[in-house]
Amino acid sequence: MGKSVDKQLDGQASDVILKTEQPYSNQSELKIVDQNIQGVNKKAHELSNSGKILTSLAAGGIAGGIAKTVIAPLDRSKIFFQTNETRNYRFRYALRWLKHGYRTEGLLSLWRGSTATLARIIPYSAINFMSFEQYKKLLKVEECWHPRLHRFIAGSLAGSTGQLLTY
């Protein structure tokens, strides 16, 4: 009474063989079945190159957008102090200015003007993150004799690519 189940994953046929005729007396049969099941799982979780590119673009864009949104109030206070004639900048003055803005103009005023920054940062972060992953793959960082140097080169190329394509 052996069972054979055929499943199709990502366009590739995979066999998962489950033997139910007799109890597992031989450990090698158990290992073969376990290896077949693990092989199916690995194939199911593997992304194509275009899937990796899209995932990297999305992850980079989302991370850049979230980071800039969190920092936006402090960035707004920095710009205020840069454009006014306050000579002694202190962090407590920036906090005081943020409290004043919140009390007089509301919470959303702290993020005023950040949409223009987000329109620049999201594509830049997406391209930067994606190109870094692609350059690492192209330079074979994991297989090379000096991975730090190759990672540095990949990061430099990724930064240059991001700047070139967004400005």
Alpha-carbon distances, residue 60 vs 37, 81, 91, 131 (angstroms): 33, 30, 30, 10
Q: What is the DSSP code (8-state) at residue 88?
A: S
Looking at the whole model, is its pTM more than 0.75?
Answer: no
Rounded to whole angstroms, the Cα distance separating 122 from 141 reads 26
Tokens matching residue 59? 């992850």
Q: What is the pLDDT of residues 65-124, one digit of tens each?
A: 999 999 999 888 888 888 887 777 788 888 888 999 899 998 988 898 889 999 999 999
**Residues 166, 120: contact at Cβ < 8 Å?**
yes
Q: What is the pLDDT of residues 113-159, one digit of tens each?
A: 889 999 999 999 999 999 999 999 998 888 878 888 999 999 999 99
Q: How confident is the model at residue 16 (pLDDT cuts 50, 70, 90)?
A: very low
Give CA 24 to chain center in angstroms.
Answer: 44
Q: Pick the range with the lowest mean pLDDT from 28-32, 51-55, 104-108.
A: 28-32
Q: Quick one: pLDDT at residue 70? A: 94
Rounded to whole angstroms, the Cα distance separating 63 from 158 reads 16
Q: Quick one: pLDDT at residue 92? A: 84
Which tops the pLDDT comparison, 42 or 107? Answer: 107
What is the average pLDDT across 26-53?
A: 61
Rounded to whole angstroms, the Cα distance separating 33 from 113 reads 59
Q: Quick one: pLDDT at residue 61? A: 95
Question: Where does the chain have alpha helices with state H?
Answer: 27-45, 49-83, 91-105, 114-138, 147-166
What is the average pLDDT across 3-19?
A: 45
Tokens matching residue 127? 């391209």
